[in-house]
Amino acid sequence: SDIEKGTYPHYMLKEIDEQPLVTRRIIDKYRNDADEITVDSEIVAAVNAADRIYIVAAGTSYHAGLIGKQFIENWAKIPVEVHIASEFSYNMPLLSPNPLFIFISQSGETADSRAVLVQIKELGHKALTITNVQGSTLSREADYTMLLHAGPEIAVASTKAYTAQLAVLSILAAVAAEGKGRSLEFDLTKELGIVANAMEVLCDQKEEMEEIAKEYFATTRNAFFIGRSVDYYVGLEGALKLKEISYIQAEGFAGGELKHGTIALIENGTPIIALSTQEHVNLSIRGNVKEVVARGANPCIISMKGLEEEDDRFILPSVHEQLSPLVAVVPLQLISYYAALHRDCDVDKPRNLAKSVTVE
Ligand code: AGP
């Protein structure tokens, strides 16, 4: 069946490898006969009628929302707030007069997100659910649904659902931008195709990822992920992956925040994964790396081709700068996988965690 592991030792590795295929499938599913990107017209109308969008999600899906905000604000110029579901329900922000809610949930069953959906429906607001599971609770109870088409995700650590969420959010943002008369300056379908190819290249570099995992994470107690702009958000996701399956205490930080406290944690040999995929913050993140290296950190710089420097540990194939999170996350997923494997952790079923959290 669809959800056999086949020759893979773990679902997580299989699901990481499926990302190029899933990205191509999404391009296909959201394309019309004229080869244009298309989204249900009711959804486009709802997005474009909103004066503000509220994205609500948990965990990895929340991290996807942070990047979705960039797509929607940069391209469609609609203000977006991103909220952690469990916080929103107890501390609801002041809402704009005409909000649209977007729930992002792989399973469509996350109770924290559902609690918010129930609340905002009582207030009479509209909701779009972006989910991998057709007919899930969040899909049934929302006004609109966009599917991820990622196929079943079995491993507790979410991988292909995250990149699928990013791809679908990019499509939604592009179509909303068009609806506002602001066509993108690039061909999203083509650029997502390039992303799929880059993912494939990365999935063929597993040995290097395993080397990095062994070199940096074999015995370490903690690890930090730093980045600026969207690289910071990808770092948050990289840190979540590492902590949930390898039990290494890992945190993602904005490069500029280090000096406001976190840098006190740097000791001799502390692994720092630094991401640099964005030209406008390349110099400043490299400055942050120098600061932590001066305090003894063991840096692992992952940069995008075109921005690379001599000591960078890994170079990502070049893709459109705004879509870099879809590729930058892949080595972080693989590194976490191998770190967990070499620390004898149960990769697919980490302790204390459930695939979908159906209690508040
Ligand atoms: C991801 O690796 C986690 N296991 C977890 O954070 C997950 O993303 C979160 O529980 C949200 O789940 P959902 O997308 O099914 O709503």
Out of 60, 162, 336, mutate this one to test ligand 1's pocket (max ligand atoms within 8 Å of CB): namely 60
Please indicate whether residue 157, judged by its CB atom, sits closer than 6 Å to ligand 1.
yes
The separation between CA 346 and the C-alpha centre of its own chain, rounded to angstroms, equals 23
What pLDDT, on the 0 to 100 scale, is given for residue 89? 84
Q: Which residues sit opposite 251 in a β-bridge?
A: 224
Diameter of the chain measured on Cα atoms: 58
The residue whose C-alpha atom lies closest to atom 9 belonging to ligand 1 is: 59
Please indicate whether residue 59, judged by its CB atom, sits closer than 6 Å to ligand 1.
yes
Interface confidence (ipTM) of the complex: 0.98
Please indicate whether residue 156, judged by its CB atom, sits closer than 6 Å to ligand 1.
yes
What pLDDT, on the 0 to 100 scale, is given for residue 349? 86
CB 238 within 8 A of CB 63: no
Q: Catalytic residue numbers? A: 355
Walk along the chain (360 residues) and give the pLDDT tens digit of each residue.
456 888 999 999 999 999 999 999 999 999 999 889 999 999 999 999 999 999 999 999 999 999 999 999 999 999 999 999 999 988 999 999 999 999 999 999 999 999 999 999 999 999 999 999 999 999 999 999 999 999 999 999 999 999 999 999 999 999 999 999 998 999 999 999 999 999 999 999 999 999 999 999 999 999 999 999 999 999 999 999 999 999 999 999 999 999 999 899 999 999 999 999 999 999 999 999 999 999 999 999 999 999 999 999 999 999 999 999 999 999 999 999 999 999 988 888 888 888 888 888
The one-letter amino acid at 223? A
Other Cβ atoms less than 10 A from the Cβ of 214: the count is 15
- Ligand 1 centre to CA of 355 (Å) is 7
- Ligand 1 centre to CA of 224 (Å) is 21
- Ligand 1 centre to CA of 280 (Å) is 31
Please indicate whether residue 191, judged by its CB atom, sits closer than 6 Å to ligand 1.
no
What pLDDT, on the 0 to 100 scale, is given for residue 118? 98
Nearest CA to 235 out of 307, 289, 280 is that of 289
What pLDDT, on the 0 to 100 scale, is given for residue 281? 98
Nearest CA to 317 out of 297, 332, 303, 334 is that of 303
- Ligand 1 centre to CA of 353 (Å) is 10
pTM: 0.97
What pLDDT, on the 0 to 100 scale, is given for residue 1? 44
Atom number, ligand 1, closest to the C-alpha of residue 57: 16
Question: Tokens for 199?
Answer: 């993912």
CB 142 within 8 A of CB 129: yes
- Ligand 1 centre to CA of 101 (Å) is 18
Out of 336, 357, 358, 360, mutate this one to test ligand 1's pocket (max ligand atoms within 8 Å of CB): namely 357
Out of 86, 106, 358, mutate this one to test ligand 1's pocket (max ligand atoms within 8 Å of CB): namely 106
Question: For residue 70, what are the CA distances in angstroms to 112, 231, 306, 322, 360?
Answer: 24, 12, 22, 9, 28
Burial of 117 (0-12, 13-18, 19+ CB in 10 A): buried
Question: For residue 269, what are the CA distances in angstroms to 37, 199, 215, 222?
Answer: 47, 30, 11, 10
- Spatial separation of the C-alpha atoms in residues 15 and 22, rounded to whole Å: 10
What pLDDT, on the 0 to 100 scale, is given for residue 2? 53
What pLDDT, on the 0 to 100 scale, is given for residue 355? 85
- Spatial separation of the C-alpha atoms in residues 183 and 270, rounded to whole Å: 45
> CB neighbours of 98 closer than 8 A, spacing ≥ 6?
49, 50, 51, 52
